[in-house]
């Protein structure tokens, strides 16, 4: 039986990946901070037919916890065949603040952890000559809305670089670049969304299904939905001064509150 490990697997896109992979026959390893939510999600997956659900309570802002999850990924006992690096949170704060703790946490959770866990998976999967590494990035990485855009731009570039390094190993490396997805993510980050048209919102389960189809056909970058494929094309081809102007309009519509998930 193949095994998938999903970080941030108790809510939102991570939970959708856990459900979808479980339905495809994978045993599931869930990684998240909240033990109660881990237990609830494990019970939900088991009710829906998952044969085995393992949970790991870990804070990926803590290096020791990152290393502990990496050890599980490299373990030869029930090896990990599919890694989903999904853990993350919204960042909404000025880049000029004296207190950069939220940015430090973001870089650790969404860059360092992705690097360490991706490397662990790459080593283990290369040795077996099979496996999949999927990183959750964002179309936000193609615009300029603060540190979140910078973090997700790194995630996309890292994924493509890892795909190049593992190109002859039979290990699939992909990133999914979602747009606005209906989850608790934005509310917990204190980001206003009332001005976003309904047509731009994606369903998490539909997004995951499209992403997994892209991964199965070997795509390195998956951009779910035609509308976000068009938006991604525009952000990559419009003059950067236009992108900065649009980014400024988006940023000015948001609250000033910052809260991690």
Q: Which residues are catalytic?
A: 148
The C-alpha atoms of residue 97 and residue 154 are separated, in whole angstroms, by: 22
Residue 233, both tokens: 């094309």
Structure-block tokens of residue 45:
């997956």
How far, rounded to the nearest angstrom, does the alpha carbon of residue 104 sit from its chain's CA centroid? 18
- Contact criterion met (CB below 8 Å) for 8 and 87: yes
């Amino acid at each position: 039986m193949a095994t998938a490990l999903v970080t941030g697997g108790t809510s939102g896109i991570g939970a959708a990946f856990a459900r979808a992979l479980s339905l495809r026959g994978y045993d599931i390893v869930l990684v998240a901070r909240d033990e109660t939510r881990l237990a609830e999600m494990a019970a939900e997956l088991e009710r829906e037919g998952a044969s085995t659900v393992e949970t790991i309570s870990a804070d990926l802002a803590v290096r020791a916890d990152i290393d502990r999850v990496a050890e599980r990924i490299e373990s030869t006992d029930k090896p990990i065949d599919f890694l989903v690096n999904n853990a993350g949170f919204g960042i909404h704060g000025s880049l000029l603040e004296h207190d950069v703790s939220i940015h430090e946490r973001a870089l650790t959770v969404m860059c360092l952890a992705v690097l360490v866990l991706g490397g662990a998976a790459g080593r283990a999967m290369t040795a077996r000559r099979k496996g999949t590494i999927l990183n959750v990035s964002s179309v936000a990485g193609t615009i300029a809305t603060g540190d979140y855009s910078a973090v997700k731009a790194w995630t996309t570039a890292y994924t493509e670089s890892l795909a190049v390094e593992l190109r002859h190993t039979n290990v699939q490396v992909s990133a999914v670049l979602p747009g606005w997805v209906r989850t608790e993510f934005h509310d917990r980050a204190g980001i206003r969304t009332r001005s976003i048209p309904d047509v731009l919102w994606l369903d998490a389960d539909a997004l995951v299904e499209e992403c997994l189809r892209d991964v199965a056909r070997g795509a390195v970058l998956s951009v779910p939905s035609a509308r976000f494929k068009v938006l991604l094309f525009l952000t990559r081809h419009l003059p950067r001064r236009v992108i900065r102007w649009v980014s400024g309009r988006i940023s000015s519509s948001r609250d000033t509150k910052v809260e991690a998930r």
